[in-house]
Amino acid sequence: MLIYIARRLLAGIPVLIGVSLITFILMHIVPGDPVTAAMDKRADAATIARLRKEMGLDRPLVIQYFEFVGKAAVGDLGESFRSRRPVGETIMEALPMTARVAGSAMLVALLIGIPFGTAAALRKNSFIDYMSTVTTLSFISAPVFWVALLAQLLFGLQLRWLPISGYQGPIYLILPAMVLGTRYAASIARYTRASMLEVLNQDYVRTARAKGVGERFVIWKHALKNALVPLLTVIGLEIGGLMTGSILTESVFGLPGVGRITIQAIQYRDFPMIEGTVLFTAVVFVVANLLVDISYSLVDPRIRMA
């Protein structure tokens, strides 16, 4: 087991190197360079040259890359052009908000998705199944930022039930969590349905039924428990979607999370901030997937053998 975990962790290293390389390249193929792109057009050549030197942009790219990675490895992501504050610190301050948005959305998704998926699987090809397929697909097909706007319009502006923007307490999280959560509830319901159908056809479920075990017990103890194992992977895959989904959701609801600072950084062409947030998000995604892989192998020992 430990060997498996160690191997998975080691395999993550080249990926992280690749991620840092691509982030670095993307930020350096921008026409001109960060300083000229971010500076006022009226800035004189001397100022630009001084700033370039200050930021080390006059040195060879390879050296700049190694310096970037070396600093990033110890959490130093440079300083924001705009606020003049360390990028790492800014991200860390915004992180709890994103974790709250993504976490509460995931909770909503599981609470809605699993029961609906199970119900659809138990009544396969019935009206309920049909309706749940169409509903879930519609939710998956609707742009999350548009659903967010509709929710603001309905619950905030028309009914005046909930606040629609900013953050001053948990009540501000309800709309974002519902909007982002229902979208993932739809994927979770679809996967639960598929996985449940597969499990219900297994011999051990038939055996349990043949032994006269009550239907409720069969579903809860035998079927659902096993059907939820593949869901772990889905949850892992959705982490990426949840993170990008929170970029859009945070923007619409004006929540000060990592997604919002990413978009703001892009609007202000704040290079160190963009570089930092993109790298940070990708690293979180890689680590999250790694954890899911490992937890998957804990739940299902067959995985380790492969």
Partner 1 sequence: MSTVVAEKKPTAPAADPEKTNATAWNRFKKHRLSLVGMAVIATLILVAIFAPVLAPTDPDAQELYSKLAKPGTTFPEKWGAGSFLLGSDYMGRDLLSRVIYGSRISLLVGFVAQFVVLAIGVPLGAIAGYYGGKVDRLIMRVADVMFAFPDLLFAIAIMFALGAGIINLFIALGVVGWAGMARLVRGQVLQLKERDFVEAARSAGARDWWIIIRHILPNALGPIIVSVTLGIPGAIMSEASLSFLGLGVQPPTATWGAMILEGQAYIRRAPLVSVVPGLAVMITVLAFNLVGDGLRDALDPRANKKA
Interface segment toward partner 1; rule CB under 8 A; list 57-65, 106-114, 145-153, 175-183: 145-153
# chain residues binding partner 1, by CB under 8 A = 51
List the x/- string, 5-34, binding to partner 1 by CB under 8 A. ---------xxx-xx-xxx--xx-xxx---
User: Can residue 73 be called a binding residue for partner 1 (CB under 8 A)?
Assistant: no
Three-state secondary structure call for residue 58: coil
> Which residues ranging from 208 to 267 are in contact with partner 1 (CB under 8 A)?
240-241, 243-244, 247-248, 251-252, 262-263, 266-267
CA distance 233 to 73: 28
Closest approach, Cβ 141 to partner 1, in A, equals 4
Residues in contact with 289: Cβ distance below 8 Å, sequence separation at least 6, in sequence order? 236, 239, 240
Residues 33-62 contacting partner 1, CB under 8 A: none
Cα–Cα distance for residue pair 24/30, rounded to 1 Å = 11
Name which of 39 and 213 has its Cβ closer to partner 1: 39
Structure tokens at 63: 């050296």
Binding mask 153-192 for partner 1 (x = CB under 8 A): x---x-----------------------------------
Q: Which of 115, 143, 214, 254 binds partner 1 (CB under 8 A)?
A: 143
Q: In whole angstroms, what is the distance from residue 248 CA to residue 148 CA?
A: 9
CB-based contacts of 104: which residues, under 8 Å, 6+ apart? 173, 176, 177, 181
Nearer of residues 27 and 213 to partner 1, judged by Cβ: 27
Four-residue CA torsion sign, 5, 282, 191, 11 = negative
Q: Is 286 in the site for partner 1 (CB under 8 A)?
A: yes
State the minimum distance, in angstroms, from the CB of residue 224 to partner 1. 17
Q: Does residue 74 come out as left (phi exceeding 0), alpha (psi in the -120 to 50 range) or beta?
A: alpha
Burial class (CB in 10 A: 0-12, 13-18, 19+), 120: buried
Q: Of residues 197-216, which lie at the interface with partner 1 (CB under 8 A)?
A: 197-198, 201
Q: Which of 2, 41, 84, 141 binds partner 1 (CB under 8 A)?
A: 141
Q: Which two tokens stand for residue 178?
A: 């519902």
Q: How far apart are CA 185 and CA 138, in angstroms?
A: 12
Binding residues for partner 1 (CB under 8 A): 14-16, 18-19, 21-23, 26-27, 29-31, 133-134, 137-138, 140-143, 145-147, 149-150, 152-153, 157, 194, 197-198, 201, 240-241, 243-244, 247-248, 251-252, 262-263, 266-267, 274, 278, 281-282, 285-286
